[in-house]
Structure 1
Amino acid sequence: MLLQACGGAHGRSQYDFDSATNSCRTQPAYCAQAAGEESVVPRAVRTFATAGGSAAAAVKILDAALKQQVTEALEECADKARTEVILANFGTRSPTPQECNEQVRDAQGRTLTRAMQLGNEMHRVALQCAAEKLNKLRPGGFSLEPTYLYDLDSGKVTWLSPDEVARIRQRGSLGELKGSLVPDVVLHNGNPEQVQAAYDFKFPCVDIGKRPPWRKYPPGHPYDGMSQDEVYRQAFGLHEVPQVIPYLGAGL
């Protein structure tokens, strides 16, 4: 397989290409201003539909055949993202564990690991790819990196439009976004509050031949002790939320 992992067994937490939300949880100093919301990776693509209109009516049904098409499309996007980013940075070899754990600075001067930096790049490529494919497969019936507030006690889920999120940031009220859920891909019936399926891209830096476990939220977090997929499933009423991983595809 192109771009095989290097080295032996290593701690997964050191070498993950994970979402910006997970990066914030593992390195809170790096994302202190994000207040728990996925603000490190710029929203390269925001695709969403509002309730009502012919587009919403056209995507009301999500059958097994279409869901499988969407899943396969996202798997292709994950493969494309890793291949493009690794080729651009390392040629035909994979980064070593040492390179994955190396401290680097982003364009804003913030310190992060190379694994996080590469993971951010892969997410941008994967989301752009997803937008192109899903606009053909399910126009009006998906969102990329939508933001939801979830109250664990009441079970209430509130979708925040990109404009609402932007206003919160402009006000500097980032505490309002603490504990927000930002899945990479959500399928819905034209209304982002009516979630039908959700997916998260994961990009391990090394050990790419095995599926990483979902991370647990740290002490002090609103979802303390719960895993990311557990919160997704509970909030959105889903039986499963697949991880989409290069070469391994979508799985639990």
Structure 2
Amino acid sequence: MSPRPLDSHRTDAKQPPGLGVWALAVLVAQCACITTAPSSRTPGHYGYRNSPVGIDSPSATCRNSLSACAALYGKEVASTTAVLKVVLEETARPPIEEVLKKCADLARSEVLLRYPKQFRGPAPDADECKQETKSKGRRVTWAMRLGIEMHEAAQKCAEMGLSKVRPGGFSLEQRYRPNMDTGETELVSAEEEQALEESGNGAELKGTLKPDVVIHEGDPLQAQAVYDFKFPCVDIGLIPEWTRYPREHPFAPFTQGEMYEQFIAPLVGRIVPWLGVFYG
């Protein structure tokens, strides 16, 4: 996994291709989750890029009438079941997200306790976050080092916790390769990823996605939700936004969250220590 710093979202970018059933699934998920359109910074808000209040209307059409739904969104929608199976039931979310929130809190506390005398306070300040340190033979900033260690701690915690509340229904750091032309997505196995990195061809992984946590019912290609842990180095009271891909990246100009939503799952969340889960 490439280094992640301890932890951007525009709505005017052109949407990736291949919306099809995924776009419809998002509408159905929205109908199940919201009835109003509160601020995107409201905890627990299923915003999906600040969807309008009236979004429930087309969603309800799809749930209640397949023929009317097909007329609205196209004949690629073969059945309501095919759409609804990618939506995570509202009753299934609380235990999953409770595990992830606890893991985020635990990871931040656990990692900072490893360095009781390294920083002037219990956590690094802005200047200390930028200072360099050596980790596993590499020179990185403290923000990057702490971010990597906190992600590792959170993943271990999530594996233990989700095994109890969602056995067989989750994947950690599953890599996906989306096709921007066709809208299709394929899995990249851990073996393939390791082989590419060991052979010096790790650059081939640049056009792939690797969420921290994927929720499904046994098939990662039928994902119901995606979650990423976000660990700000400073300003822990602010909600980190999704990273926007740079101009030279295959996924530019979209954000990480937009790519997750269009190519992996209709429900996309960020898990932030002490603040909780944020959607969209």
Q: Map residues 11-160 of structure 1 onto 2, 5 A cutoff.
A: 20=2, 22-23=4-5, 62-90=88-116, 93-108=122-137, 110-160=138-188
Structure 1 unaligned regions, length at least 5: 1-18, 24-58
Note if 1:163 corresponds to 2:191. Answer: yes
Instruction: Name the CA distance, whole Å, in 1 between partners of 2:248 and 2:87.
Output: 39
- Against the structure 1 CA distance between its residues 132 and 60, is the aligned structure 2 distance closer, same or farther, given a 3 Å change threshold? farther
SS in 2 for 1:242: strand
Query: Any conservation in 1 of the 2:87–2:224 contact (CA below 8 Å)?
Result: no
Query: Alignment length, in residue pairs?
Result: 197
- Against the structure 1 CA distance between its residues 205 and 60, is the aligned structure 2 distance closer, same or farther, given a 3 Å change threshold? closer
**Alignment RMSD (CA, Å):** 2.1
Instruction: Name the CA distance, whole Å, in 2 between partners of 1:61 and 1:175.
Output: 33
Q: Map residues 228-239 of structure 1 onto 2, 5 A cutoff.
A: 228-238=256-266
- Against the structure 1 CA distance between its residues 156 and 60, is the aligned structure 2 distance closer, same or farther, given a 3 Å change threshold? closer
SS in 1 for 2:228: strand
Instruction: Name the CA distance, whole Å, in 2 between partners of 1:183 and 1:174.
Output: 17
Question: What's the CA shift for 1:95?
Answer: 1.2
Instruction: Name the CA distance, whole Å, in 2 between partners of 1:247 and 1:236.
Output: 27
State, as a whole percentage, how many aligned pairs show the same letter. 42
Note if 1:251 corresponds to 2:278. Answer: yes
Instruction: Name the CA distance, whole Å, in 1 between partners of 2:171 and 2:193.
Output: 15
Per-residue CA distance 1:31-68 (angstroms, 9 max, x = gap): xxxxxxxxxxxxxxxxxxxxxxxxxxxx9994322221
Query: Any conservation in 2 of the 1:60–1:190 contact (CA below 8 Å)?
Result: no
Instruction: Name the CA distance, whole Å, in 2 between partners of 1:156 and 1:119.
Output: 31
Give TM-score scaled by structure 1 length: 0.73
Per-residue CA distance 1:202-245 (angstroms, 9 max, x = gap): 0001100110211100011001111110111011241x311101
Question: What's the CA shift for 1:22?
Answer: 4.8
